[in-house]
């Protein structure tokens, strides 16, 4: 059972005004109590993960697999590892960590086909190998490998040279752990390079021209020290082996404020005895922002999809006659980030709480039945 708030009040309508107590006494001396909660299952203890893909895919979480372009998993495990694959596309595996603030995530996964521009090792020496036009269009990124003419390749001496840009699936951060003046990062272009496992006696230069990437702050973990350069929207760096190379955008959280909004409310009449009330209500996952392009992608990598409504169901069982009002609220954070010269903002949705009010009215009552 998740966090909830119980507020029990009684409104007695009379000439003198409203009486707020936990019970009322009718004119025949019978005491009537406000509706009280017997059990509360409005909020689900499990975690929910909604996954979408640009192509029909097989999504696997633990021992459960589902196929399609949109699937949903409910789990009690935390964290979870997800694998997404489709024939002819580069497979993605990623980890999702839930928290009380974020029990529901909606995450888009974009799979890419390997670049068709494959160059054998002899021809690649002294040349530049780029990703194919389809991959450039799909990712808004032109990537390239510059291979020294006199390089010696070890580790994998048979496979062709190629580079494919992929957009890694989001691995959302814990919103409650973000701190002002602390840096956050996310991969906005990842270069899958072949021959996989190859090592070089002379450094190979990788580069990516990223549409809309001007003015941002970048980092490439594990690139050769001092070799990363940023010229406008072009990021280049040197490596001595091949694997998947992540180009990260770094941003500093400069301001944060918190708020709460009501996402659902209803009122129901209940009779004597026990009554179970069932409701369907929306929960919002992800973020809202005016950011576009690479900045929207950065937000998606950190917080999941843009604001997504996910339907939930729940029940609350009460006893005693009267009326019951139910209110579902959701917390949000307003974040301001700065990367390089660029500032951007986002509202990120968080924890969901429930509030129940019980009320009983004496209006129209005379002695006898209590109804």
Chain segment 51-101, per-residue pLDDT in tens: 999 999 999 999 999 999 999 999 999 999 999 999 999 999 999 999 988
Structure-block tokens of residue 97? 């960590």
What whole-number distance in Å separates Cα of residue 81 and Cα of residue 25? 58
Q: Indicate whether 218 pLDDT > 80.
A: yes
Q: Regarding predicted confidence, which is higher, 29 or 355? A: 355
Considering the chain, what is the average pLDDT of its residues?
A: 90
Residue 360 is predicted with a pLDDT of: 83
| Residues facing 236 on adjacent strands | 207, 229
- What is residue 136's three-state secondary structure? helix
The residue-averaged pLDDT of 138-164 equals 97
Radius of gyration of the chain (CA): 28
**Domain chopping of the chain, boundaries:** 4-44+254-359
pTM value is: 0.87
- Using one digit for the tens of pLDDT, what is the confidence trace for 176-194? 999 999 999 999 999 999 9
Helices (H), the chain: 121-124, 133-139, 293-303
pLDDT of residue 33: 85
Whether the Cβ atoms of residue 114 and residue 162 lie closer than 8 Å to each other = yes
Distance CA(73)–CA(285), nearest Å, equals 15
């Amino acid at each position: 059972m998740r966090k909830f708030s119980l507020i029990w009040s009684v409104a007695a309508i009379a000439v003198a005004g409203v009486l707020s107590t936990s019970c009322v006494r009718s004119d025949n001396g019978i005491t009537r109590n406000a509706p009280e909660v017997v059990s509360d299952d409005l909020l689900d203890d499990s975690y929910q993960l909604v996954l979408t893909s640009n192509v029909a895919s097989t999504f696997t979480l633990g021992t459960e697999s589902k196929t399609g372009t949109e699937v949903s998993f409910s789990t009690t495990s935390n964290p979870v590892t997800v694998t997404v694959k489709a024939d002819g596309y580069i497979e993605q595996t990623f980890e999702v960590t839930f928290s009380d603030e974020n029990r529901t995530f909606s995450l888009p996964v974009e799979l890419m086909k390997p670049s068709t521009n494959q160059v054998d090792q002899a021809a690649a020496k002294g040349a530049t190998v780029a990703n194919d036009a389809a991959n450039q269009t799909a990712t808004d990124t032109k990537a390239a490998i510059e291979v020294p003419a006199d390089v010696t390749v070890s580790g994998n001496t048979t496979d062709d040279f190629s580079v494919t840009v992929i957009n890694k699936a989001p691995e959302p951060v814990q919103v409650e752990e973000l701190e002002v003046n602390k840096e956050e990062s996310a991969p906005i272009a990842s270069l899958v390079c072949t021959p996989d496992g190859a090592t070089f006696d002379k450094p190979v230069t990788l580069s990516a021209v990223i549409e809309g990437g001007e003015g941002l702050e970048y980092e490439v973990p594990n690139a050769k020290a001092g070799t990363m350069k940023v010229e406008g929207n072009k990021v280049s760096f040197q490596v001595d082996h091949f694997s998947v190379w992540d180009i990260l955008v770094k941003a500093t959280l400069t301001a944060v404020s918190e708020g709460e909004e009501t996402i659902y409310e209803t009122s129901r009449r209940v009779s004597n005895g026990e009554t179970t009330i069932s409701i369907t209500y929306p929960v919002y996952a992800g973020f809202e922002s005016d950011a576009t392009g690479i900045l929207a992608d950065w937000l998606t990598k950190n917080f999941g999809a843009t604001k997504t409504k996910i339907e939930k169901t729940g029940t609350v069982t009460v006893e005693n006659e009267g009326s019951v009002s139910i209110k579902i609220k959701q917390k949000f954070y307003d974040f301001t980030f700065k990367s390089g010269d660029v500032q951007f903002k986002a509202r990120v949705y968080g924890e969901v709480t429930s509030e129940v009010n019980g009320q009983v009215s004496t209006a129209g009552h005379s002695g006898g039945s209590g109804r």
